[in-house]
Copies of this chain bind each other. A is one copy, B any other.
Amino acid sequence: MQDIDEEEQSLFEAPPLAEQERMVEAVLFATSEPVTLRELESRMPHGSDAGEAIALLRRRYEGRGVQLMKVGDAYALRTAPDLGFLMRKETVEQRKLSRAAIETLAIVAYHQPVTRAEIEEIRGVSVSRGTVDQLLELEWIRFGRRKMTPGRPVTFVVTQEFLDHFGLESARDLPGLKELRSAGLLENRPPPGHLPGPDGADDPEEEASTGQSELFED
């Protein structure tokens, strides 16, 4: 059945690439959210190659007042950053983040996937619920998969909204990531012997239970 379907469908030719480019342009223009290739193709006529159309469109918008940006595995049109001064009226009041929240965000971004215990180990203080909640609420971080360590603690990773907000194609494009990695500063070195601090990692049981209860509360 599948084969017949596919044969049948391939009888309808996909529209010319220039037309596909127009379609991608229209769809990206219509929304403020990044759109994935899959979503694009699901809207376009069968046989369309959204990826190629995107590549064309991206070139077309190079140097324009509006630019095609890659955000994770999605695409979005955004105004060129050098023209921000024209948009003072449109500026959204940005919520001030606490220093703890900013640091926690950076640690999640650079160390992801990272557990709460690891964040605490790096910052040297316990992470308050409110801090994590605020970042989750902004949809800048989300829960990742559990770590395969004793207690299987949950991890945090950054989201597509985070990438979109900071104009990043992927978390690999974080500023200074390479330097930090080669300097060994993204490692999670175990302390020799025992260091004091709020790292609850002494007791994996406890870590597991707090991690879980936090995930399942609220």
Select from chain B the residue with minimum beta-carbon distance to A85. Answer: B43
CB distance A26 to B90 under 8 Å?
no
Tell me whether A22 and B83 are in contact in the complex, defined as CB-CB below 8 angstroms, given that A29-B65, A66-B29 are known contacts.
yes
Q: Chain A interface secondary structure, helix, strand, loop or mixed? A: helix
* A79 at the binding interface (Cβ < 8 Å): yes
CB distance A79 to B29 under 8 Å?
yes
| Cβ 8 A contact of A64, one of B25, B63, B77 | B25
A86 contact set on B, CB distance < 8 A: 23, 26-27, 30, 43-44
CB distance B65 to A21 under 8 Å?
yes
CB distance B64 to A31 under 8 Å?
no
Select from chain B the residue with minimum beta-carbon distance to A18. Answer: B63
Which parts of A65-91 form the interface with B (CB within 8 Å)?
65-66, 77, 79-80, 83, 86-87, 89-90
- Name A's B-contacting residues (CB within 8 A): 21-27, 29-31, 43-44, 63-66, 77, 79-80, 83, 86-87, 89-90
